[in-house]
Chains A and B, each alone.
Chain A
């Protein structure tokens, strides 16, 4: 009875971690030839389209132009150039300030919706996601119209009070747009963390005499901190890597735009673009590492026996007024880009006036007429990228979780490493690696639209992989063992049991990959060689460059938003339905 602490399930789990050592039956303990072939194929794909391009970027950054000898002189040049150092500082400043302002938006919403019996909670949680279904650079244009120097708000302020506020001046504009766009990452993570706090944690503190703000500071906030940090680091990295938003707001002295401008204006032979790329990679690796280190050993999910979440309190009248005030204000801000885009897409002329002068459907006619190519390309690219991602995702998840193949974790690490590679860096790496590779007819590989698909697939692979992992983890191993016990081989078991049970998760992974790939710009901006190959996001970017193109651009933006919104809705519905049909199946 003294052995009660050990559980029968323990050896089973350890079996996957420790390579078994039984020589006579080693065949069945490592992997089948099919599994090995699959792993090698995935490894080859990742090497060619992720490792090689990134390695190329690193190689160019650390070698002397022409000779190929190792040198740090490129980095010395980077440090010596005032423009680059200012760009580095600006990128850092904008990212940090965006995190700060995103926190200001997310904290009250998260706290209100989890802490109080609050009618608006569902609305907040739904509308809170709205910014994410629009590429940030699209929002930037709409925000200019409302908050710019001659936007609606400033025109009204000038009329009534005789002054203007520089919401959108220089770096402020980037910070403003980014924090409105990315705050949902913090909201989602923080709300989840708050909901996972066991009510008893709070009650125990109250029972010992702690209440009010002290309770929040000493118990609630520390318990929710890991969730907050996870969201905050994500926002930091996203803002640091974003290329299109600063470009559209005409802010050029930030790192990602500098890398892009260097390569497009001076050429792919110039080492400075690569040096900046290395700096971008290092910054996002550090930010991710810091948040992982801060989270280590702090998995505070404390809910037990169902229920959970903070005790919901009724609001007093004053609190309710204050609460709704805050929520309405923030939601207005969140909706502003969408509203602006919609108005702009129907506007004849909208300049120096709070609202457009007149309305017309002409922009949509143009978008669905001559520009429908963008939409078609986007659908093709995003579908292919999503398809590649879920095939790779299911295969990697199965190899890692269900086989004892030596080195299988490397596939996972390699695929996930794509998270730390900014799109602009991947784009530069593709250009440099594949421009020299030519097809029989002489066109370089980098000029083909297939390259865009591959880049999108690599960029979105980590998300699809997580979805596939989660789906496979929910399939109890005993469900597969039962099938094998009844005579199904490994391959048959995968087909008849594993894949059908993962279907919901796989589909959700596809939709996530699809919808984010559909509005991706930073890698494609580097890789689009001709207008006929351009996807929607690229077309949007081109339209938004000129005042005359803003109308059709906005119409295209509305199409993009609707496309992504539809996908998000579908994936949500799929996940819910698959969870319902499976019931208490495991």
Chain B
């Protein structure tokens, strides 16, 4: 164990701080996961006014996850399942109502946003809204360096040019505005902005869902190359199961704010245990003619997150629901000897 982690065990865990402006690759410690979520929850208050109390909505409830260094964790689920709120908490955009996030073993709570920014960077879904239309590409990509006061303006320009090379953009893109680039090129700009600080962890929130399929492949290839080159850890949020299966090491499936199943890619895609995971996999339409559209047997009423069903949140749509499912919420339990977890009474 290195000296660093010893102090960590001995004393109170220090908040994030990175006194390392050189951005040299940090030494990896295999024991600590790059990112650990401990019982993370977020509740919102809806319809509250100046003098009125609103209803509470549990957007994310008690989510625990460990993402080992250099791995890709996929997070899948349908709209409104809380995956975007989860991403916002990891990025420090909203504070968790409960639980904590450990980045590199150190708690995020109370950490300063700038220090966090050097560890975690986002790639957002919509390359049209993720770049300020009134700024040039060089300003957008160089913004992190500028905000953190790294280098002289000449050094920053060199670093921007270098990063544009890394993401496969021509250097003359630096002087252009986002409106002059195609969707795929814009997403490369967003990736360049995320990588210029050399973060350890990148939160990819549906990074290809706004792109055409031919461009999607370019971006996925780029993400894979960058991961290999810089030893990045990804949290890859997507609803596209084919993409997730291609890219990830482990997968977590979310439904109505909770993780219902988590395991390795082979476990989730090969032998899913939760009926919701199974339904998701069945409804992914692979390009195989002749198979038709499967009957997945779910109702299409996504329950109201501010008024979740009793017991297992999935029971109103579950083809196998029993009386027990309506009364008791299944806990997310480890599957013995399998390094996987599932929350279902009948798994």
Q: Does A pair with B? A: no
B contact set with A: CB distance below 8 Å = none
A contact set with B: CB distance below 8 Å = none
